[in-house]
A and B are shown apart, each in its own frame.
Chain A
Amino acid sequence: MSFDHFDAVIGLEIHAQLLTESKIFCRDSTHFGAGDNENICPVCTGMPGSLPVLNRQAVEFSIKTGLALNCDIRRQSVFARKQYFYPDLPKGYQISQYDRPLCENGHVDFLVDGQMRRVSIVRAHMEEDAGKSTHHGDYSLINLNRAGIPLLEIVSGPDLRSAREAAEYARAVRNILRYLGVCDGNLEEGSLRCDVNVSVRPKGQKELGTKVEIKNINSFRFIEKAIEYEIHRQIDCVLNREAIVQETRLYDADKNRTFTMRTKEDAHDYRYFPDPDLLPLTVEEAWIERMRATLPELPLAMATRFVRDFQLPEYDAFLLTQERELADYFERTNRACGNPKAASNWVMTEVLRNLNETGKTILEVPVPAEHLGRMIRMIDTGVISGKIAKTVFGEMWTSGQEPDAIVKDKGLVQITDVASLERVIDQTLAENAANLEAYRSGKDKLFGFFVGQVMKATKGQASPEVVNELLKKKMQR
């Protein structure tokens, strides 16, 4: 496969469900998991005479997202009808935005393997979701709970060049949405949905190849795999002199391949036109500025700050800022101990590992950041050893107790007292006379053995630094 002679051109359309309480054009709840058709009304079922009334919160979430994606916010955007027939679209059209979307001309910066990449955002427009159909052979069933849930469709430019880059871009957008609190970003539940446009062209060619759209991808891993598969399929087509058909394909995760859903011949002709039921949406400058003032520090800015202010490795900084709550947890830990690198290490290893093992999220972490911070300070001030700290941490995790109390109750204070350590060392040396002899005649490696013996004898509580120092002195003689 001469992958090397081709470039892939990839663009993503991300549909984000906005976290409003009520639907975009009516007062039904957006609550996930309600009973069948519990959240429907005459507006979202398309009853004659019903009229849409726009949800202010949905607009504000969209403006915030637009600003976070560095978009221009249109002072006047227009809702349009996108017309097609499908039973889960009761009105016969979806209210969307067409030639005058709310947000345009933005960009997102993100890292791919340590390299900064910028992808343009062509537009981000508001629209309503359709209902859900399930098919049962000779009939279909329709649930309209989802019809009318507010969506923001974020359309990237065709700037992505690899499957990996596309997946990282999607993750970056998801993180931004979650930081803003406008979308929960759950791909499995469909609150974030991703359509991918892929084409290939010989290296150096200016014109774009025929693009294929892939739908139905419900994880970041699958975004990567689906695109990977599709790039190979298209290159094969080109090399075998077969035409690439402009079409929509579906990704089948079980088979790890894409297959035709519909070709251009039966592609939709949507006949968009401005929805006469809704006036243009006017957004004053002052409103935009109010929204701008509510923007939190975004993941990339936060990661950059962690590298700059705390001298954290880039890897740590990006891992810690994947979730806003995790970043907050790290920051609070750091404030309590004043040792960013140690705070980062504990959060990334012990905290994340324990969360993983217990299936908890960072919001449910049983160890308050302040406790972890105080424990790190106890290591740094020599009260406990790093080894004992692991025990203390485990205890904090299960009991929720404060580190000071655990150390005191369990007598875990580090032994730094020279006299008592000398007693242990003398005894250890006496018990291992042969090894001591071997060490003195040149077997340097045995030093570690003696350190281990002393630590064992003190149940790990001896200060390793003091033990090292004393052992060196005593073993020389």
Chain B
Amino acid sequence: MISQETIRHIAKLARLEVTDAEANEFAAQLSAVFDHFQEIAQLDTAGVEPMITPSEIALYLRSDQVERQETVEDLLENAPEKSGHLFKVPPVV
């Protein structure tokens, strides 16, 4: 059973605010999900390599070349706030 404290911890890591009622609700929901995985975990996987990806294609590597398609202005366009060519954000420290 996933506790409310765990829910609050997960929420905090994700920077989400949860009410007591929500924490209760999610605890029940996530417990169900978790229990299902517990069930899967019962399967005997001895000798089975963990799968990183189902794809068998090799990773594509690019050559080390500089290419520029956008301007600074393009990239800053969606920023809610900026200062010169810098992104402006609420204080961090």
Contact = CB atoms under 8 A, between A and B. Distances in A.
Given A20-B64, A28-B68, A38-B72, A140 B91 contact: yes
B70 interface: yes
A57 B64 contact: yes
Nearest to B12: A269
A312 B72 CA distance: 55
Interface stretch (A186-194, A198-206, A271-279, A399-407): A271-279
Contact of B89 (A27, A57, A139, A274): A139
A135 interface: yes
- Tell me if B's interface is mostly helix, strand, loop or mixed: loop
A278 B90 CA distance: 32
Interface stretch (B17-25, B26-34, B38-46, B49-57): B49-57
Nearest to B63: A56
A41 B70 contact: yes
A86 B89 CA distance: 11
A279 B59 CA distance: 5
A139 B90 contact: yes
A86 B70 contact: no
Interface in A16-44: 20-22, 27-29, 35-38, 40-42
Given A271-B13, A282-B59, A27 B68 contact: yes
A282 to B, nearest CB: 6
Nearest to A142: B87
Contacts of B36: none
Contacts of A20: 64
Interface residues of B, number: 35
Interface string B54-93: 0101111111111111101001100001011111111111
Nearest to B59: A279
- Assign chain A's interface to a size class: 35 or more
A366 B58 CA distance: 50
A58 interface: yes
A133 B59 contact: no
Contacts of B52: 78, 274, 279-280
Contact of A36 (B9, B15, B57, B85): B85
Contact of B61 (A40, A56, A78, A269): A56
A280 B69 contact: no
A354 interface: no
Contacts of B53: 274, 276, 279-280
A36 B55 contact: no
A56 B66 contact: no
A56 B62 contact: yes
Nearest to A25: B62
Given A141-B86, A141-B88, A281-B59, A42 B70 contact: yes
Could you say which of B13, B66, B72 has the most chain A C-beta atoms within 10 Å of its C-beta? B66
B85 A27 contact: no
B6 to A, nearest CB: 11
B59 A278 contact: yes
A281 B55 CA distance: 13
A63 to B, nearest CB: 12
A87 interface: yes
A212 B63 CA distance: 40
Give 9 nearest A-B pairs by CB, closest first: A57-B64, A36-B85, A56-B61, A142-B87, A27-B67, A279-B59, A141-B86, A87-B89, A29-B66
Interface of A: 20-22, 27-29, 35-38, 40-42, 45, 53-59, 78, 83, 85-87, 133, 135-144, 269, 271, 274, 276, 278-282
15 contacts: A22-B64, A27-B65, A27-B66, A28-B66, A38-B72, A54-B60, A56-B62, A86-B92, A87-B87, A133-B89, A137-B91, A139-B89, A140-B93, A269-B9, A279-B55
Given A140-B91, A142-B88, 17 more contacts: A27-B68, A29-B68, A37-B72, A38-B72, A45-B75, A54-B62, A55-B62, A59-B61, A135-B91, A139-B81, A139-B89, A139-B90, A140-B90, A141-B83, A276-B53, A278-B59, A279-B58
